[in-house]
Amino acid sequence: MLDGKTRVLLILSRDVLDRARVLAGKATITLKLPVSLQIVLRALIEEGLKRDDHPALFANVEGQAKAVRHKRSMARRPRRRGK
């Protein structure tokens, strides 16, 4: 399962992280096995990649890409003095 490991920095909103923690807790109770946040995030990524043509997944990717573009363009703008 983890033969070709690569480390990745993943920045998530607190809301998304909290929801993933809740899922880890529910999975731990249901499966009667310790389920970590890392296991949940890996599973969510793998399942999401299986649905690469799903409209909701594509819409989410589009929204995040636009948000990143907007943040970067705002960071490049010169700041006005006095504001």
Tell me the two tokens of residue 75: 């960071």
- Reported as a pLDDT band with limits 50, 70 and 90, residue 1 is low
Sign of CA dihedral 13, 19, 25, 27: negative
Q: What is the pLDDT of residue 52?
A: 86
Alpha-carbon gap, residue 44 to 49, rounded angstroms: 9
* pLDDT tens for each residue of 41-81: 999 999 999 998 999 999 999 999 999 999 999 998 887 77
Please write the tens of the pLDDT for every residue from 19-36. Answer: 999 999 999 999 999 999
For the chain, domain boundaries: 14-75
Report residue 26 as tokens.
């529910």
Find the radius of gyration of the CA atoms of the chain: 18
Model pTM score: 0.74
- The pLDDT value recorded for residue 81 is 73
In the chain, DSSP assigns E strands to none
- Listed residue (81, 79, 82, 5) closest to 42, CA to CA: 5
